[in-house]
Amino acid sequence: MTNVTLSTQWSKMLFNNAHMLRVAAEIHAGGEQIDARTLQRRIPLGQSAVHRVLRTLEGVELLTRQERTSRTDVLQYTRADHPFWASAATLFFAAERTG
């Protein structure tokens, strides 16, 4: 079993989304502001997977989507100050180490 597989399994069991821990850990590692394209470049996931996680996190108010001036602007989010981010990152990296 590979490290990625274990973190994916934990993510799927805990959040019913195989990518939640990886995306949340990356958001935690970044600044307070994050955008969808930056996440897609940092994580080898497709656009739809990243956006699905972002919408879920926005739905539970862990992220706030910033206003766009046009539909072509990159989606920008502000990360809420919440212990979830550190916890998700800790779980992700523990799974990566445990493998």
Convert the pLDDT of each residue in 44-53 to its tens digit: 888 999 999 9
Distances (CA, A) of 57 to 2, 60, 73: 27, 5, 20
What is the per-residue pLDDT across 75-98, written as a single tens digit (0 to 9) for each?
A: 899 999 999 999 999 999 999 888
Residue 3 has pLDDT above 70, yes or no: no
Token reading at 16: 């019913």
The full set of domains in the chain, from first to last, is 3-98 (1.10.10.10)
Q: Which phi and psi angles does 23 have, rounded to 5°? A: -65, -45
Instruction: Read off the pLDDT of residues 56-70 as tens digits, 9 standing for 90 and up.
Output: 999 999 999 999 999
- Give me the torsion for CA of 28, 32, 35, 37, rounded to 10°: -50
User: Are the C-beta atoms of 91 and 21 separated by less than 8 Å?
Assistant: yes
